[in-house]
Chain A
């Protein structure tokens, strides 16, 4: 007998357990692992509201100002009456202007001005400057896997207990200088906050959100297998629930054929001839831009469980992802030349936590003569391959499989460091072998 998987019920069960531990548990910390698009932000907002309802003032620590503003807006949307404090920096334009329209959100650069509010939200960097205040009884740490251990060290004195929420599969935090000296220490300052927290407090309850609401049924199995082999998750929707259609028929070109393949299967690989290129490979950049141009020109429409009618695939629903900033800049100018300025183009680091209908990705290893740890990092590929609700199109030079075979991971193994599975090498192979089933050759 097989039980039918009910994603809604599964997710609700997980959320209830998390909230129970957070509100009534005895441990000082609760850790929640969330795969891409599993409702992490929804959980954070809900936990904040329930803690506030229970009369427990709390602080929320996010990593970027954009994340903080987003959380404030979501909180106000759910409960416009809730008194929220937005602690911000003293720079010019420190927060999203949209916050000015919210009557119950107080904004200040001084923590003292916000004392007594139910929820106070800021970035880890700003919280680190808050000194000499009574510790909060509760904290929520958002994107805790992208927070560095030293950032947690700076703020952990501000709260007694905390809920740590994050996605372990995304990019690890990094340091711009070497930190091998501390590798293997439980409090390695360059490790992620959760790694340090759990090394010192292994008894803390760890939860997992089991359902990705973002990733379509075509993507969840691949992303789960390749990046979360030991903590699998499912998609919240079935194979028929999402559809991507185009009003204009294919003109038979490479971009159009890969768009059709991706619309049909959720994945498309546009393969350019093998070649070693500089990072800003002009041909690959042009191919990316043309795919985006055609996506818009062909009048795409996305049908999903959210609405009965198809939503037009507009520029704000498409994103281009790259590994390096200069690649993103090159794509932006290529798009501008084709008259498409509004599409988001960014690096994996900056696309973390964002969601689009269709993503067009430049493979991090495309055209490279070597495969460095940076380009092999599991999280980078995971971020790029898990931003989409409908389809992901990867543009890549041929020959990456051989490149991988020529460059097995050679990073030194450090004593005391937990080996991260899967390694980037393996994850890259898994993704490539899946993509090869959806391959369209450029220009043939």
Chain B
């Protein structure tokens, strides 16, 4: 946790209200997101109990599995979910704009620009908490390999049509959510705690009710009290007033309400099956419907508060203006969406169970690059985030007090002006450290030359640099701040004189960062078919991954 976040949390404790960590919204929010509030069955992996889903906050669709252990009912639930989610996704697949992408020409091997489609917008999925993202992944994994009767008439338990397709989309969204800064699938607690610091631990922040209580407490109550109430308060029947945001349910609900209701449903079903004539069956069907209705009401009662809380959280986030780079990152999300749309259309098989070595390395490289990009962009978009980086010694801001023209040595001297910045920050500038500032949206680099002595100790102008050592690391900061001398090294044009506006002027307020603003692409990895021997050779060859499929060898302990 950074120092500024710690301070914000302390302030939140002190004031009883969450404190802002950002002045702009760092994630894109769709105008029409699909909110998904799932519940799962305790003790049964991947058995959904129900969900509220939809794009209209006043009219969510309630999906319920009255007997979660019944796989037919589970399939019916998934088919219904597909009926809600897939049309929503499809509605974004059609509207495209022309775009260009660099591709390697297979014949010449050269990089060429190719005209391609890019979806003008992308569907966005919102779940209440991080556990909801895991659940989306789990659902995706459990569905994408299923076969429908149409795909394979021989399959013993065919899945309803479109269920495998939903699995592929949920898998794609779950994978994309692992990319830092992406917004295709968002956990609301994560987004809220990116923008506000509460006075509770980050673990407690994953409770949506408590988190909202800190951010937006009732008028007459402090955030801490409201959060405690959200976590603990139970009604006369011993049920939580603010049910957990799921997908796990409260054990008291499971034991006291859900279990008896499911039991009643099971009894009604058995009874209906045993009915001997039509009249009896009619009666018993009535009982079954009533039992089912009871479970539906129970699921609705646990999901609706979370549903409303999610929309309230979205309202709070929408009140913040969107950060400039959040839009750029959303464009990457649109590319990701378009790419998967194309793979589905091209009839490619579902995502494999495990990544191969090259895919895994590529994903890790992408995510590391996106993480660095996200950290830089958030700071550039938001003075409050930049303040945190300044406090951590990773950036500094101040006023230009002096600019001295200087030139590089060599045949064609280029401008290398020396700029002195007075700053109250204490950046961790090492010898010849590179620093960057944003110049018209592009990073301009400068090199740290040294601290100028505060007393003006008669150093020759332009005489900083190696021969002087230049570097006074301590004692440079007094009440007036430190004087940092920088040598600007690029973005000044090709001529001998720097282009107008490309060099800071005396009196300008500037902010330099020690971190880079843009990320370089890494080296291209070999194709999966060319996986080297150190990594087991190309995938699919049997000896490549022996330990994945072979059972463990029998040891002495096995035959005791």
Contact = CB atoms under 8 A, between A and B. Distances in A.
Question: For B355, B522, B532, B544, which residue has the most chain A Cβ atoms within 10 angstroms?
Answer: B532
Interface of A: 28-29, 92, 125, 128-129, 131, 149-150, 152-154, 156-157, 175-179, 181-182, 185-190, 193, 196-197, 199-201, 278, 325-326, 329, 332-333, 335-337, 341, 416
Contact of B357 (A187, A201, A336): A187
B530 A157 contact: yes
B371 A177 contact: yes
Contacts of B537: 200
B535 interface: yes
A124 to B, nearest CB: 10
Contacts of A129: 523
B314 to A, nearest CB: 26
Contacts of A153: 357-358, 361, 525-526, 531-532, 534-535
A103 to B, nearest CB: 24
Interface string B448-479: 00000000000000000000000011110000
6 tightest CB-CB pairs across the interface, nearest first?
Answer: A336-B474, A128-B523, A156-B532, A150-B361, A187-B357, A189-B361
Interface of B: 3, 178, 180, 354-358, 360-361, 363-365, 367-368, 370-372, 392-393, 428, 472-475, 489, 522-526, 530-537, 544-545, 547-548
Contacts of A28: 533
5 contacts: A153-B534, A157-B530, A186-B545, A186-B548, A196-B534
Given A154-B525, A189-B361, A337-B475, A326 B534 contact: no
A177 B535 contact: no
Nearest to A187: B357
B360 A152 contact: no
Nearest to A151: B361
A410 B28 CA distance: 35
Given A185-B354, A185-B355, A187-B360, 11 more contacts: A92-B489, A150-B364, A177-B178, A177-B180, A182-B364, A185-B548, A186-B547, A187-B356, A200-B534, A326-B393, A336-B474
Contacts of A154: 361, 522-523, 525-526
Nearest to A93: B432
A157 B532 CA distance: 6
Contacts of B475: 336-337
A201 B533 contact: yes
A332 B474 CA distance: 8
A213 to B, nearest CB: 30
A190 B368 CA distance: 11
A341 B473 contact: yes
Question: For A28, A177, A278, which residue has the most chain B Cβ atoms within 10 angstroms?
Answer: A177
B474 A333 contact: yes
A29 B361 contact: no
Question: For A129, A154, A201, which residue has the most chain B Cβ atoms within 10 angstroms?
Answer: A154
Question: For B178, B360, B489, B525, which residue has the most chain A Cβ atoms within 10 angstroms?
Answer: B360
A44 to B, nearest CB: 19
Contacts of B472: 336
A337 B537 CA distance: 56
B204 to A, nearest CB: 16
A335 B473 CA distance: 10
A341 B475 CA distance: 12
Contacts of A189: 357, 360-361, 363-365
Contacts of A190: 364
B433 to A, nearest CB: 12
Contact of A29 (B3, B355, B364, B534): B534
B530 A176 contact: no
Contacts of B428: 325-326, 329
B329 to A, nearest CB: 15
A128 B524 CA distance: 7
Contact of B535 (A128, A196, A325, A333): A196
A153 B523 CA distance: 11
Given A152-B535, A177-B364, A189-B357, A157 B371 contact: no
Contacts of B355: 181-182, 185
B394 to A, nearest CB: 9
Contacts of A150: 360-361, 364-365, 525
Contacts of A128: 522-523
A326 B365 CA distance: 26
Nearest to B445: A92
Contacts of B371: 176-177
A152 B524 CA distance: 13
A149 B361 CA distance: 8
Given A152-B535, A200-B534, A175 B357 contact: no
Contact of A152 (B474, B534, B544): B534
B547 A157 contact: no
Contact of B393 (A186, A196, A329, A335): A329
B66 to A, nearest CB: 34
B350 to A, nearest CB: 17
Contacts of A200: 533-537, 544
A181 B454 CA distance: 53
A430 B360 CA distance: 37
Given A153-B358, A153-B526, A177-B371, A332 B473 contact: yes
